[in-house]
Amino acid sequence: MNSAGKVPPAGPYKLVVFDWDGTILDTTAAIAISIQYAAEKMGLPVPSATKARSVIGLGWRDAMKIIAPTCPEEEFPQFGAYYVERYRPEEGKVHLFPGIENVIRTLHERGVTLAIATGKSRRGLNRVLEATGLGKYFADTETADENPSKPDPGMLEAVAIATGIDPADTIMVGDTTHDLGMANAWGCRSIGMTYGAMTAEMLEREKPVALCRDAEELARVLGLS
């Protein structure tokens, strides 16, 4: 697939749904490091950085089956506690991807409805929305606490119910095959961001309308520039 700069705009849309980690906030490395730290503290095999990144966007239980398949379910809370122990200090160091706030603000100013569908917990998402000041732009936010894990289309279905906007008028923006696969399952278009957890080659398998290397290309595909 050509880069976003060589494809036409994604066409008419009323709703843009964003993933959070690896799409809006550059948390990929922090999440992977924290997963590895938790596994080591638990005395479990430490997953590679690639495997740790591959579960970003999934609900916690689904992620644990991949990153720590030998961990008993009753020990998931302890794994999670170690994860938070390592991740929370890192969260203060991460930043928004360059230009993404401008894309979100411009979409909002033009009357486009915005939403979030993320594998984060509700508490975690609320915390970062407040910290970044972006919460005011989103009409609806859905997390893995309230919905089935991606790529199940439950989050997008919940967004559609909250906004009243059909799949045909919706675009999902994400950095993982979980995001794009969810869009396919819901029957809406998707755009893959290649600066996050997965490579362009991996994302291309889910047939997004475009792959974007940065927020500037995303703005072009969305017809903002």
Q: Which of 19, 26, 140, 175 is catalytic?
A: 19
- CA proximity to 58, closest of 124, 135, 117: 117
The CATH label, of 1.10.150, 1.10.10, 1.10.3470, 3.30.300, for the domain at 28-91 is 1.10.150
Question: What is the rounded distance in angstroms from the CA atom of residue 13 to the CA atom of residue 83?
Answer: 38
Question: What is the rounded distance in angstroms from the CA atom of residue 192 to the CA atom of residue 209?
Answer: 8
DSSP state of 188: -
List the chain domain ranges.
4-26+95-221, 28-91
Question: What is the rounded distance in angstroms from the CA atom of residue 175 to the CA atom of residue 203?
Answer: 8
- CA proximity to 78, closest of 46, 112, 44: 44
Residue type, 6: K
Answer yes or no: 21 catalytic.
yes
pTM over cut 0.85 = yes
CATH fold group of domain 4-26+95-221: Rossmann fold (3.40.50)
pLDDT, position 90: 84
Do 23 and 196 contact (CB within 8 A), yes or no? yes
pLDDT, position 57: 81
Give the HSE-up count for residue 84: Cα atoms under 13 Å, Cβ half-sphere.
11
pLDDT, position 1: 46
Per-residue pLDDT 10s for the chain (225 aa) are: 444 445 567 788 999 999 999 999 998 889 999 999 999 999 999 999 999 988 988 888 899 999 999 999 999 999 999 999 998 888 778 899 999 999 999 999 999 999 999 999 999 999 999 999 999 999 999 999 999 999 999 999 999 999 999 999 999 999 999 999 999 999 999 999 999 989 999 999 999 999 999 999 999 999 997
Question: What is the rounded distance in angstroms from the CA atom of residue 19 to the CA atom of residue 180?
Answer: 10
Answer yes or no: 19 catalytic.
yes
